[in-house]
Structure 1
Amino acid sequence: MMPPDSHPLRDAPLSQPPRAVMDRRLGVLFVGRVNAGRSLMAEALLRHQASHRFDAHSAGLTPARDLNPLVLERLRAEGIATDGLAPKALDHFMRPEAPPVDIVITVSELAATGMAGAWPGQPVTAHWALPDPDPARYPATPVDRRRLVDTIFQDLRRRVDVLAVLPAHCLLALSQWGDDEDAGLRTAG
């Protein structure tokens, strides 16, 4: 039995990650249903906040043709770069030549349930439950849709702000490092 004042994560010795991992930015992939709103907003915010620490990407299970125009409008109003933002297919990130993905964050329930256990390299995974700003799924007035996009943006900004400053030892506490040369972050087993 553990002493009452001990904690397995706090008291466990933390090993150092492989040098190859520490010498590069960590790859973060935000996954949504269609990659036209939430996941693209998260990608743009993380690039804006912490491109020195992370390579931000996003993808969708069934990518839309275009970015949600309200999302694009909101990002531009905040002075966040939108160049190159476009819906992308998830399978692009499952290929061997894809950029390294160390952290996968799903932003839709469909993505969260559809992606369980599907990641090569076992990246750290998380789910950020957010409402869907797709006008087809949220039949309301344009003012209501704009309010929803604003609410999602504020929520994502808070979450990305935390991720952007998360110390490496916090990531280590959530992960176990593999022995291979560039294991990336591994989920605890």
Structure 2
Amino acid sequence: MEILIPNRLSTLGHPQRLAVFRLLMRRYPDRVPATELARALLIKPNTLSTYVNALMQAGLVTQERVGTSLRYAIHMDAARETVDYLLNDCCRGRPEVCVPSAAVPRPDRARKANVLFICTGNSARSIFAESLLRHVAGDRFEAYSAGTNPRDGVNSEALSLLRQSGHDADRLFPQSIADFQTADTPAFDFVFTVCDQAANEECPTWRGQPVSAHWGLPDPVAASGSDAEKARAFQKAFDVLEHRIRGFAALPLASMDSLAVQRAVDALGQSDNEGMLT
């Protein structure tokens, strides 16, 4: 331990290695292909290989080969071990100084929890999630959605599917995440990214230290093929999100500590990945 921690901290002291680590943290527990990492961070593949090898040698990142593709993920136990060392060893005797800002009291469950869903265009997936949460548990959650590069309007196929499913789609429209960075916008309790591209981008720091998780799934707007095949892509996205939203709404949040909540929402982001998303 005494040898590992300084090596990990030294490894993370390099800006580009830290950038790889931070992106993988945003995508956790996903395993991200090397080609996607290089593209998202604008790093040459051979340079990326050097960075991830250093992170793996420090024990912070794991590698998996899927066919001809190498995929990487955070070694979360090692990441927690490193943070715990800083808090419990380096800060021994000064807990009031070292408690991280994320360790704030849970939000008051007497009020509705504010939830934000983010994707790139805010025209289908995040719109589905916003409407679904409002429909399933609008008495306990205030649902919002936004895009990192919002479209001019909600996708017509998405609107049609929502209306067919009994949702009120008239109040839905694309918004930018910048719209939720003003003094008038609410502090969020939960922030979910529902597309890989949005998760790969640097998002702002949200007020209130919300629980965040990645619930990525394919973009139905990008689906190709016949009209029937495109319609199925929208239906799959809707069904997966409905499953996750219902699971989220069923969590006994009032009786869960912050770590249990984080693990639960991370697990929901992996549900259906092997079935409905293929």
TM over 0.5: yes
The 5 Å alignment of 1:7-156 reads 17=105, 21-115=108-202, 118-134=205-221, 137-156=222-241
Distance 1:83 1:152, change over 3 A: same
Identity percentage of aligned residues? 37
Q: 1:175 to 1:164 in 2, by over 3 A?
A: closer
2:251 counterpart (155, 161, 166): 166
The CA deviation at 1:175 is 6.1
Give 1:114 deviation, angstroms: 1.2
CA contact 2:149–2:176 (8 Å) conserved in 1: yes
Compare the two structures and name the one with the higher helix fraction. 2
Tell me the distance in 1 between the aligned counterparts of 2:144 and 2:257.
Answer: 19
Q: Could you tell me which amino acid in structure 2 is paired with residue 163 of structure 1?
A: F
Distance in 2 (CA, whole Å) between partners of 1:171 and 1:88 is 32
Q: CA deviation at 1:21?
A: 1.7
RMSD: 2.2
Paired residues of 2:130 and 2:145 also in contact (CA < 8 A): yes
Could you tell me how far apart the structure 1 residues matched to 2:212 and 2:132 are? 19
**Which one scores higher on RCO, CA 8 angstroms, separation ≥ 6?**
1
Flag the 1:171–1:165 CA change in 2: closer, same or farther, 3 A. Answer: farther
For the Cα contact (< 8 Å) 2:115–2:188, is it kept in 1?
A: yes
Number of positions where the alignment pairs a residue of Structure 1 with one of Structure 2: 159
Q: Please state whether the residue corresponding to 2:247 is helix, strand or coil.
A: helix
Uncovered stretches (5+) of structure 2, i.e. residues with no partner: 1-104, 263-278
* CA distance 1:171–1:141, shift in 2 (3 Å): farther
Corresponding letter in the other structure for 1:162: G
- Structure ID, larger Rg: 2
Distance 1:174 1:37 in 2: 29
Question: What are the superposed Cα offsets for residues 97-141 of structure 1, whole Å, 9 maximum, x if unpaired?
Answer: 11221100001111112145732332100111210012xx33322
Greater mean alpha carbon deviation, residues 30-39 or residues 104-113:
104-113
Structure 1 moving runs of 4+ over 3 Å? 170-176
Structure 1 gap segments, 5+ residues each: 1-16, 177-189
- Shift in Å, 1:64: 0.4
